[in-house]
Amino acid sequence: MPRKARIDAPGALHHIIARGIARRKLFDDDDDRDFFIERLGEIVSDTDTQCFAWALIPNHFHLLLKTGAVPISTVMKRLLTGYAMYYNRRHKRYGHLFQNRYKSILCQEDSYLLELTRYVHLNPLRAKLVSDINELSNHPYSGHAVLMGRATADWQNTKYILGLFDDKPSVSRRRYLEFVKRGVAAGKRQDLTGGGLLRSVGGWSAVKSLRNTGGNQKGDERILGDGEFVKKALSQAEESFERKYRLKAKGVDITRIAERVAEIMGMTSEAVWASGKQPKIVQARSLLCYWATSELGIRQAWLSRKLGISQAAVSLSVSRGRRIASENHHEIGNL
């Protein structure tokens, strides 16, 4: 059976797990871990992706990310490809480093943000990389130490997580730590490691109860959340797919997108493709990149080659284009 496409949209919360191929180590030493963290920080900052939690284990890692203007698939491709190239070069090896496909679960934020933050940050303790909760608070390879103020990662969104406990930092950290401690006794939470109806409703007993009472709830293995959340996520994904299909069926391509950008910006289509750092050209190129990726599904690697700029610059352009479209109420219109 073919694998289902990933579900994503701006503002979507994802629990991501990536493992080494054949259970091999991804990180041999602190230099590997430091490089990975530095690259992660650069990419989430470049793409306006929010990172709420993260943890590095020798043969896998966990991330809790919220999509910005750039799809999570693009964020992960940059992260995994760049790190694999670094690792293979440094350790003089060849071939794949990661399993073929990382695991990405779309999560209902209201219900699972704090639970997943705790789950992700307790991984080093469950893996026996640290001996107790006090050592975990100083462990440099998990976002828990950042939330506790013992480590620094400007790209991690600690303000939002701590703000859910209290407005005063000292109080919020104490309450957050108490919350994490309560999670230690729960052990490994299988219900937080994937999606589907079984996990979303809380186990077989809840599923049986639904059946006995005639209840019906939508489930999908790519999504962790209640039935209404699942239906809404699937509906939005279908709507996005249909919009891209309709545009392509009408013959709308990157050239027509460039013409629409030219109309909005009051310039020629050729100028939209021009290089340079003039504000008007930068804005036009940003709108082009944003609509090309969001409306037509064009890959950022293709735009990078076409525009003669780096993929990181394309990511920044997509983020900037989304802001420009939103702030100025620019719409792609009926092309």
pLDDT score of 57: 97
> Within a 10 A sphere around the Cβ of 309, how many other Cβ atoms?
16
Q: What are the pLDDT digits (tens) for 78-103?
A: 999 999 999 999 999 999 999 878 88
Longest dimension (CA), the chain: 65
pLDDT score of 205: 41
Do residues 281 and 271 touch, judged by C-beta distance below 8 A? yes
- Written as six digits, the tokens of 136 are 């975990």
Report the topology of domain 13-192: Alpha-Beta Plaits (3.30.70)
Output the CA torsion 240→246→251→255 (10° steps).
Answer: -30
Distance CA 295, CA 240 (A): 8
Instruction: Answer whether CATH 1.20.200.10 is correct for domain 250-328.
Output: no
Q: What are the pLDDT digits (tens) for 7-24?
A: 777 788 899 999 999 889
Q: Is the pTM of this model over 0.75?
A: no
Q: What is the mean pLDDT of residues 279-292?
A: 89
The more confidently predicted of residues 4 and 239 is: 4
| Domains 13-192 and 250-328 equal at CATH topology level | no
Beta strands in the chain (DSSP E): 13-19, 50-57, 60-66, 103-107, 223-224
Q: Look at residue 210 and tell me whether its pLDDT is greater than 60.
A: no
Q: What are the pLDDT digits (tens) for 126-158?
A: 999 999 999 999 999 999 999 999 999 999 999
Distance CA 96, CA 88 (A): 9
Q: What is the mean pLDDT of residues 27-47?
A: 95
Q: From residue 154, how far is each of 41, 157, 169, 292 by CA, in Å?
A: 8, 8, 16, 30
Do residues 56 and 120 touch, judged by C-beta distance below 8 A? no
Q: What are the pLDDT digits (tens) for 303-320?
A: 888 888 887 788 788 888
**Buried-exposed string 4-41: b where 16+ CB fall within 10 A, e elsewhere:** eebbbeeebbbbbbbbbeeeeebbeeeebbebbbebbb
Do residues 202 and 193 touch, judged by C-beta distance below 8 A? no
Strand 50-57 with 60-66, pairing: antiparallel
Task: Please state the domain extents for the chain.
Answer: 13-192, 250-328
Q: Which of 25, 29, 26, 67 is nearest to 48 (CA)?
A: 67
Distance CA 198, CA 191 (A): 8
Q: What is the mean pLDDT of residues 291-304?
A: 82
pLDDT score of 300: 79
- Specify the 3-state DSSP secondary structure of 254: helix
